């Protein structure tokens, strides 16, 4: 079996007396969607932030593409291919879809804002941005202003921006949040295909989406992984039912 793309080993992170991440070891494998579920305050976002590099673990390691990145910066990890979807607020809402993706492509090429105008006419960057839009199915919206996109399309746009970095893995923290049921269904379908581009570590509360998408699921409760397995394993696990799933299983 191939090495995992992403792996945490024994990650610990406390905030004062709160142990937000308690000895967490998980791995993300090629071609898979690995869902991370658990109640509010379980430590899901804290774990994701230690993987992106936004938070420094107290102890433990993060390996990405077989390299130890535990002390690498957020931007170094991003350049190495660790993609994450951005918050909606990161979109320039008055600009067009294509302009937003181009901004991402400029960042991917190591550029900065002052090169914005020339970048608009840079064929290589434009091609990279247009390619990302094709891959998320937004090519025909290239000239649409972001503020007239549906919530679901905005999420697709965020993925397009992340794709300009040519990610080798994706981290997504509650991408379905704020979407209605149609939007969630649409995004679920879209994520189905995305795992072939790069595996996804997916934090999500929407259990319909999780059960439809996940190749494997890890359940976090009080900072600890209480179970990891397939959808069937997790749905039938009595500890998980008691701690989190209740009736939804
Ligand atoms: P989840 O994403 O699963 O809802 P979080 O990772 O956001 O959980 O939070 C885990 C625990 O850590 C919670 O008890 C939360 O209050 C605490 N926590 C998270 N971030 C901080 C912080 N920056 N400072 C203090 N406590 C925090
Ligand atoms: Mg969270």
Q: Which tens digit of pLDDT belongs to each residue from 69-96?
A: 999 998 899 889 998 875 545 677 788 9
DSSP string for 52-110: HTSS--SEEEEEETTEE-TT--HHHHHHTTEEEPPPGGGS-TTSBHHHHHHHHHHHHTT
pLDDT at 62 over 90: yes
Q: In what order do the strands lie in the sheet with 18-28?
A: 18-28, 6-15, 59-64, 67-68
Whether pTM > 0.75 for this model: the answer is yes
CA–CA gap between residue 130 and residue 168 (Å, rounded): 19
Domain boundaries, the chain: 1-81+167-249, 90-165
Instruction: Write phi, then psi, for 82 (nearest 5 degrees).
Output: -90, 105
Mean pLDDT in residue range 160-189: 87
pLDDT of amino acid 116: 56
15 close to ligand 1 (CB < 6 Angstrom): yes
pLDDT at 232 over 90: yes
Are the CB atoms for 139 and 131 separated by under 8 Å? Answer: no
CA 35 to centroid of ligand 1, rounded, Å: 19
pLDDT of 177-222, one tens digit each? 888 888 888 889 889 988 888 999 999 999 999 999 999 999 999 9
DSSP string for 3-21: PPSEEEEEEEEEETTEEEE
**Nearest CA residue ID for atom 17, ligand 1:** 20
Are the CB atoms for 36 and 218 separated by under 8 Å? Answer: yes
Q: In terms of CATH architecture, what is 1-81+167-249?
A: 3-Layer(aba) Sandwich (3.40)
pLDDT at 66 over 80: yes
pLDDT of amino acid 207: 92
CA 88 to centroid of ligand 1, rounded, Å: 21
């Amino acid at each position: 079996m191939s090495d995992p793309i992403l792996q945490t080993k024994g990650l610990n992170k406390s905030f004062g007396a709160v142990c937000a991440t308690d000895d967490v070891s998980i791995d993300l494998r090629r071609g898979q969607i690995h869902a991370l579920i658990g109640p509010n305050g379980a430590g899901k976002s804290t774990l994701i932030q230690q993987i992106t590099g936004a938070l420094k673990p107290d102890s433990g390691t993060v390996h990405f593409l077989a390299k130890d990145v535990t002390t690498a910066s957020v931007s170094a990890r991003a350049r190495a291919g660790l993609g994450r979807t951005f918050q909606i607020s990161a979109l320039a809402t008055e600009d067009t879809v294509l302009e937003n993706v181009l901004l991402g492509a400029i960042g991917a090429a190591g550029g900065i804002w002052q090169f914005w105008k020339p970048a608009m006419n840079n064929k290589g960057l434009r091609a990279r941005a247009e390619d990302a839009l094709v891959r998320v199915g937004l090519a025909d919206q290239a000239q649409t202003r972001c503020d007239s996109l549906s919530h679901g399309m905005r999420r697709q746009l965020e993925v397009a921006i992340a794709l300009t970095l040519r990610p080798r893995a994706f981290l997504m923290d509650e991408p379905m949040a704020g979407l209605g049921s149609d939007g969630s269904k649409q995004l679920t379908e879209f994520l189905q295909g995305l795992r072939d581009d790069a595996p996804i570590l997916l934090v999500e509360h929407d259990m319909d989406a999780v059960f439809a998408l996940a190749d494997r699921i890890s359940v976090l409760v009080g900072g600890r992984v209480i179970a990891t397995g397939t959808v069937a394993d997790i749905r039938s696990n009595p500890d998980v039912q008691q701690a989190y799933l209740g009736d939804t299983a």
